[in-house]
Each structure stands twice: as C-alpha cells, then as structure tokens.
C-alpha cells in the first residue's frame, strides 16, 4: 500500500502514463459526481464517489489486474493491510471480479484522513474497518499497460 498526503504529491509521482492522467481527470470531475454512480474514462479507469456510512469489511480484499486508489475528501477510515503471501486465502481468485479474499493476523494499519490518497497495489490486500461518515473517491485503474490484455 502506498500512502500519499495530497493530490499534488500524486500528480508529481504519477504524471507520465495515460492511466494516471485519467485519474487526475476523474478527480477534476468531483463537483459533478453523485454518490454511488460508477463512471469510466477509457478502458483503464472506473471511479465512483462514496458518501455516508461505510461498513467494516469482514475480510481482506486483493486484486490482480487493477489497483484501487482511495482519495479521502472528508471523514476518516482505518485500513488494515498486509502482503498477500502473509495472509490465508479464503476464496480463490475470480477473474470476473478481479478479487480474492483473505484472512490474517499479522497486519499493519493506517487511519486515512481528508486529503490523503491510499493506493492498494497487487502485492497487498486491504480491509476497511468502517466509518460513521466518510466521503471518498474510489478509483479502479488497470495495472496492465495502456489497455486490457484481451482487447
């Protein structure tokens, strides 16, 4: 998991590839977004606004073909995370959902606050611990080149 403290830090670190530029485009669309509605830009990015109560996840989630970026706008949320090899797989990987679930004890945690971006890459699985009120933008971006491998 990568923790960035601002959009400017994200922009400086991830500026060259088209998929990261599309993330910045999605962030610029924030004023137009309604909670719970999914949007996409090209074939590399899907994003949605989360606003309200966020339930705690019962297990860790990992991805293989996509990275998730959570951009916290207001409120906070504690996330536990760990390298996938240190966790116990609960269900096999699903190619349809790009998800695999895990359980585990030897984990780290981080409490995200407004302005931060958390990037959940393929090497880690994460587990949100819930929040009474949260407003964040969730971006799901491919980790494969500029397009999907099957297109």
Is residue 149 included in any domain, yes or no?
Answer: no
pLDDT at position 98: 93
Distance CA 8, CA 6 (A): 5
Q: Tens of pLDDT along the chain (151 residues)? A: 899 999 999 999 988 888 889 999 999 999 999 998 999 998 889 999 999 888 889 999 999 999 999 999 999 999 999 999 999 999 889 999 999 999 998 789 999 999 999 999 999 999 999 888 899 999 999 987 544 444 3
Is residue 106 included in any domain, yes or no?
Answer: yes
Distance CA 101, CA 126 (A): 9
Domain count within the chain: 1
Is residue 125 included in any domain, yes or no?
Answer: yes
Distance CA 54, CA 143 (A): 26
pLDDT at position 27: 96
CATH code of the domain in which 64 resides: 2.60.120.370
Is residue 16 included in any domain, yes or no?
Answer: yes
Is residue 12 included in any domain, yes or no?
Answer: yes
**If you write DSSP's letter for every residue of 39-65 in order, what string do you get?**
EEETTTEEEEEEEEEEPPPSSEEE-SS
Distance CA 71, CA 139 (A): 8
pTM of the model: 0.89
Domain membership of residue 71 as a residue range: 2-142
Distance CA 83, CA 29 (A): 32
Is residue 69 included in any domain, yes or no?
Answer: yes
């Amino acid at each position: 998991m990568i923790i960035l403290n601002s959009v400017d830090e994200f922009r400086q670190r991830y500026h060259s590839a088209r998929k990261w530029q599309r993330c910045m485009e999605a962030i610029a669309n924030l004023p137009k977004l309604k909670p719970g509605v999914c949007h996409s830009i090209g074939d590399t990015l899907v994003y949605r606004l989360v606003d309200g109560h966020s339930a705690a996840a019962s297990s860790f989630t990992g991805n293989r073909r996509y990275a998730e970026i959570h951009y916290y706008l207001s409120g906070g949320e504690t996330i536990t995370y760990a390298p996938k090899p240190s966790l116990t797989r609960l269900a096999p990987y699903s190619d349809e959902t790009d998800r695999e679930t895990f359980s585990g004890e030897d984990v780290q945690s981080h409490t995200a606050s407004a302005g931060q971006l958390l990037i959940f890459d393929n090497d880690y699985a994460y587990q949100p611990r819930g929040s009474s009120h949260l407003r964040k933008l969730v971006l799901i971006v491919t980790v494969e080149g500029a397009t999907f491998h099957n297109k």
